Amino acid sequence: MENYITLTIDNREVTVPEGTSILQAAHKAKVNIPTLCYHEDLCVAGNCRICVVEVEGSRTLTASCSTPASNGMVIHTSSPVVRNARKDIIALLVSEHNTQCTTCYRSLNCELQSLAAEYNVDNTRYLSVLKPNIQVDRSSWSIEKDDSKCVRCQRCVRTCSELQHVNAITVAHKGKDMKISTFMDLPLNEVVCVNCGQCVIHCPTGALTERRYYDDIWEAIGDPNKHVVINTAPSVRVALGETLDYPPGQRVTGKMVAAMKKLGFDSVLDTDFTADLTIMEEGSELLLRLKKAFRDKENVALPMISSCSPGWVKYIEHMYPEHLDNLSTCKSPQQMFGTLAKTYYAHKIGVKPEDIVSVSVMPCAAKKYEANRPEMKASGFQDIDAGLTTRELGRMIRQAGIDFGKLEDEKFDSMMGDSSGAAVLFGATGGVMEAALRTVYEIVTGRPVPFKNLNIMAARGLEKIKETSILLKGCKPEWDFLEGVELRVAVAHGLKNARTIMEQIKRNESPYHFIEIMACPGGCIGGGGQPIPTNDAIRKKRIAAIYAEDEGKEIRKSHENPEIVQIYKDFLPEGPLGKKSHKLLHTHYTKRNRY
Amino acid sequence: MTLVESTVTELTLKYGKERRQLLPILRGVYEKFHYLSDESMVEVARQLDISSAEVFGKATFYSFLSGSPQGEFVIRICKTIVCDMKNKKLIVDTLENLLKIKMGQTTHNRKFSLCYTNCLGLCHKAPAMLINNEAYTDLTPDKVRQIITSYKNR
Ligand code: SF4
Ligand code: SF4
Ligand code: SF4
Ligand code: FES
Ligand code: FES
């Protein structure tokens, strides 16, 4: 039985379970206390002291995020003492900050900026002690690190450790020299950073941001000799609205397409198309592995693990290079799209591949790195020229002065613009699994998956690791060796949970045949390129929007997408895993160093 | 096995491989090599199965775990205010003069290093300094000369 306590916050009584922090109790009492180092995804650090409150009878002010409430406490959250203390703290932060809001990417979405404005901080209160000559680290394709804008809240370090278990960044040195650093302060591209961008969406300021490429896109759009195609990932349409003043969870697919057409892209296509293609290739690859294992009794790497999340791919390359065989050889939908844009699509519309600029909009920071991997040139050119984040697309729409709310819905262009509901699922954790099962089960048995409305509920939700199994019964003759096999699958999101799965594989105790892993908590809807803030409440809303989008689609299985049927007929006649598929749609991996 | 590897292996055998043993292990490495090289930090990370950044972070927090090569005897002079008022400057001058190096440097024979440290908690006997783990207090230039001579003969 939980014990409850009652306390008074700003004259309001509130009852909470014992152990609740003052901050959480205040939330319950609908009292807002400002925070900076606190983030609901992370453990409490209590290092910034913005959240101080006055507790009657206590000699000093108390940090509300790190102090448990106790019975009978009387708390004031906005008394003059408290406000002056906060103002002082903010002024001190500003005194060592490179306050360049006019040119800062996070301006108007920065926690330090809004605190300073809210508390009317006087920047002459303290002399500036900003360290001179701080260099911005732009070594990585994905992440930009500017220590001159860091408030040393350590949210990034906790993210990289608690959520991702990468620990690429750490707190180094002490006192006034304390800074966020990699090993030996090496550039980010030389360390184990997997480019997931989770540190970016947890950073309150402009100290960590994604590398931005939208200026290059404006250039390309303005160049009459270039044919610029854009494709958007499933999770962008359920989050983009947030950057344009819509509430979380609002689907803006049609308006998004309309906006991109207005921006001047020559063709607006959908990554969902290649998500369906991924299912065809990856599903066939799984079946091939199962065939080798069950029928031919060959030694083949099982479980097979999904490979669409480039943060996850780099993680396994660094941390478990001995298990790269378990990784599906399928490229991610982004990279499949890029290759096809400069081959299949270019040929069909009669444009030279060198004149095509392929742009993708992703919920992701790691996709920027992926696009620049040296092996991603299967078309003979760089397959994807630039990867933008959801935030960058939002920025471009604002830059163009488009009144987003007033746009009429439009449809994706054809050829690589159609998609099934299954493809949309890629945006949420468990989605690849659900999409793959919808297709694989039907290939093997000739019947749709035996779940109500095709919805595989066991793959859904924010649980750390989800597992389920599906009995293969009534298999078609060519798949009779799978008769009675219980296909066991698991889904993990966030690299911390991926690690649990991998340790199990390492111990040779993994009971699964197929595993989906996404680097970011919640899957792509919680990706490092998504709108800030992102937290569990917002993740859930975006996930709900993904499932609504799936339900709203007429076609809900990848193999029934007519454009997919078409491309196999016209361009990949050998079918999934054929020679051409291998050359264009599959890839190989690199062993990397863990330390 | 390199010397670094065997040293770290010995230390992990002695202290175990839990993350909380990081500090004693780093101290052990330091005592052996008089500094923590990047190679040694990576080796510690590998054996404890933690990230090298984490080892680097912990190591740089402690001024006694230097990341650059140090002499056999590290002389640390308190830079805090009481020692300052009690003429620390004179002590620093004497040391620099005796060893022919500046603060922050190491002698060519790798015998002595000079550096500052925060308050040693010996303010009542200021000025104070440490040579490795040995504290010396109520320093005067004469006393410093004697002490250094005794170390030179070790
Ligand atoms: S990080 Fe925030 S406070 Fe700093 S310059 Fe950027 S917007 Fe301004
Ligand atoms: S980089 Fe951002 S998240 Fe990390 S400590 Fe600095 S301000 Fe906080
Ligand atoms: S991008 Fe991901 S792996 Fe890299 S430092 Fe940030 S959280 Fe860590
Ligand atoms: S939010 Fe409480 S100390 Fe930072
Ligand atoms: S001030 Fe030097 S020992 Fe305290």
pLDDT value at residue A1: 59
Do B36 and B91 have their domain in common? no
The DSSP letter of residue A57 is T
The residue annotated as part of the active site, out of A242, A282, A392, A434, is: A282
Q: What pLDDT, on a 0 to 100 scale, did the predictor assign at position A276?
A: 97
At residue A90, the pLDDT reads: 97
A328 belongs to the catalytic site: yes
| 8 Å CB contact of A167 and B42 | no
Of A161, A174, A184, Cβ closest to residue B61 = A174
Instruction: Copy the structure tokens of residue A70.
Output: 């106790």
Query: Which ligand 3 atom is at minimum distance from the Cα of A197?
Result: 1
Please check whether residue B145 lies inside any domain of the structure. Answer: yes
Contact criterion met (CB < 8 Å) for B61 and A181: no
Show the tokens assigned to A430. Answer: 């468990």
Query: Does A360 contact B at CB distance below 8 Å?
Result: no
> What DSSP assignment string belongs to A183-243?
GGG--GGGSS-----HHHHH-SSTTEEE---HHHHHHHHH-TT-EEEEEE-TTTTTTHHHH
Regarding whether B51 and B79 lie in a shared domain, the answer is no
Is A358 assigned a catalytic role? no
| Nearest atom of ligand 5 to the alpha carbon of B82 | 1
Q: Are residues B23 and B52 in the same domain?
A: yes
Distance CA B70, CA B131 (A): 12
List of chain B residues whose C-beta atoms are within 8 Å of the C-beta of residue A499: none
- Same domain for B83 and B138? yes
Do the domain assignments include residue B67? no
End-to-end CA distance of chain B: 32
What is the number of other CB atoms lying within 10 angstroms of the CB of residue B14? 11
Q: Determine which residue's CA is closest to atom 2 belonging to ligand 3.
A: A196
Instruction: Check CB contact under 8 Å for B56 and A171.
Output: no
Ligand nearest to the CA of B126: 5
pLDDT the model gives residue B63: 81
Contacts of A110 (CB under 8 A, 6+ apart): A101, A104, A204, A205, A206
Domain boundaries, chain A: 4-78, 93-210, 223-273+334-406, 279-331+419-585
Residue B68 lies in a domain: no
- Look at phi and psi of residue A335 and say left if phi exceeds 0, alpha if psi is from -120 to 50, else beta: alpha
H/E stretch holding B114 reads strand B112-117
Interchain CB contact of A167 with B (< 8 Å): yes
**Are B145 and B82 contained in the same domain?**
yes
| pTM across the whole model | 0.94
**Radius of gyration of chain B measured on its C-alpha atoms:** 17
Q: Do B7 and B48 sit in the same domain of this protein?
A: yes
Does A308 contact B at CB distance below 8 Å?
no
Counting Cβ atoms within 10 Å, is residue B115 exposed (0-12), middle (13-18) or buried (19+)? middle
What is the predicted ipTM?
0.91
How much distance in Å is there from the Cα of B47 to the middle of ligand 3? 23
CATH topology of domain A279-331+419-585: Fe-only Hydrogenase (Larger Subunit); Chain L, domain 3 (3.40.950)
Task: Judge whether B51 is closer than 8 Å to chain A, CB to CB.
Answer: yes
Residues B84 and B109 reside in one and the same domain:
yes
CB atoms within 10 A of CB B81: 12
Q: Which two tokens stand for residue A247?
A: 């509430």
Contacts of B42 in chain A (CB under 8 A): 183, 595
Q: Is the pLDDT score of B60 beyond 80?
A: yes
Residues B137 and B80 in one domain: yes
A285 included as an active-site residue = yes
From the candidates A524, A557, A558, A563, give the one annotated as an active-site residue. Answer: A524
Give the count of domains, chain B: 2
Q: What pLDDT was estimated at residue A125? A: 85
pLDDT on residue A72: 96
Identify the domain containing residue B137 by its residue range.
Answer: 73-152
CATH of the domain at B148: 3.40.30.10
| Same domain membership, residue B95 and residue B57 | no
How many whole angstroms from A172 Cα to the centroid of ligand 5? 25
CA closest to A172 among chain B residues = B57
CATH number at residue B7: 1.10.10
Active site residue A367: yes
User: CA torsion sign, A567 to A572 to A574 to A577?
Assistant: negative
What is the second-level CATH architecture of the domain A223-273+334-406?
Answer: 3-Layer(aba) Sandwich (3.40)
Residue A58 is among the residues annotated as catalytic for this protein:
no
Q: Where does ligand 1 bind, in terms of residues with CB under 6 Å?
A: A 97, 99-101, 104, 106-107, 110, 112-113, 149, 205-206
| Mean local confidence (pLDDT), B120-130 | 94
Contact B51 A183 (CB under 8 A): yes
For residue A38, give the ligand 4 atom closest to its CA.
1
Q: Which atom of ligand 2 is nearest to the CA of A180?
A: 5
Find, in chain A, the residue whose alpha carbon is nearest to that of B62. Answer: A173
Residue B55 phi, psi dihedral angles, 5° rounding = -65, -45
A193 catalytic, yes or no?
Answer: no
Q: Which residue of B has its CA nearest to A178?
A: B61
Ligand with smallest separation from the Cα of A38 = 4
Q: Are residues B90 and B53 in the same domain?
A: no
Q: Does A595 touch chain B (CB under 8 A)?
A: yes
CA-to-CA distance for A46 and A89, rounded, in angstroms?
Answer: 14
Distance from CA of B97 to the nearest CA of A (A): 29
Position B40 in a domain: yes
Note whether B97 and B137 are same-domain residues: yes
Q: Which of B41, B61, B81 marks a domain boundary?
A: B61
A366 alpha carbon – ligand 3 mean position (Å): 9
Residues with CB under 6 A from ligand 2: A 150-156, 180, 203-205, 207-208
Q: Taking CB atoms and an 8 Å cutoff, what residues of chain B touch A173?
A: 60-61
Q: Does residue B36 lie within any of the structural domains? A: yes
Q: Is residue B90 part of a domain?
A: yes
Average pLDDT over residues B121-138: 94
Residue B66, domain member (yes or no): no
For A93-210, CATH number out of 3.50.50.60, 3.40.640.10, 3.30.70.20, 1.20.1340.10 equals 3.30.70.20
- Do B90 and B143 fall within a single domain? yes
Q: What share of chain B is helix, strand, coil (3-state, %, to 5)?
A: 55, 10, 35
pLDDT tens figures, A356-400: 999 999 999 999 999 999 999 999 999 999 999 999 999 999 999
Q: What band does B66 get if pLDDT is binned at 50, 70 and 90? A: confident
Chain A partners within 8 Å of B80 (Cβ): none
- Nearest protein Cα to ligand 2, atom 3: A203
Asked whether residue B107 is assigned to any structural domain, the reply reads yes
A554 Cβ partners below 8 Å, 6+ apart? none
Q: Which two tokens stand for residue A579?
A: 């020679």
- Looking at the complex, does the CB of residue A1 fall below 8 Å from at least one CB of chain B? no
DSSP-derived secondary structure for A290-327: HHHHHTS------SEE----HHHHHHHHHH-GGGGGGB
For chain A, residues with pLDDT lower than 50 are none
pLDDT of residue B68: 83
Predicted local distance difference test score (pLDDT) of residue A322? 97
Options A110, A193, A308, A475, the catalytic residue = A308
Which neighbouring-strand residues pair with A4?
Answer: A17
Q: What is the fold, at CATH topology level, of the domain defined by A4-78?
A: Ubiquitin-like (UB roll) (3.10.20)
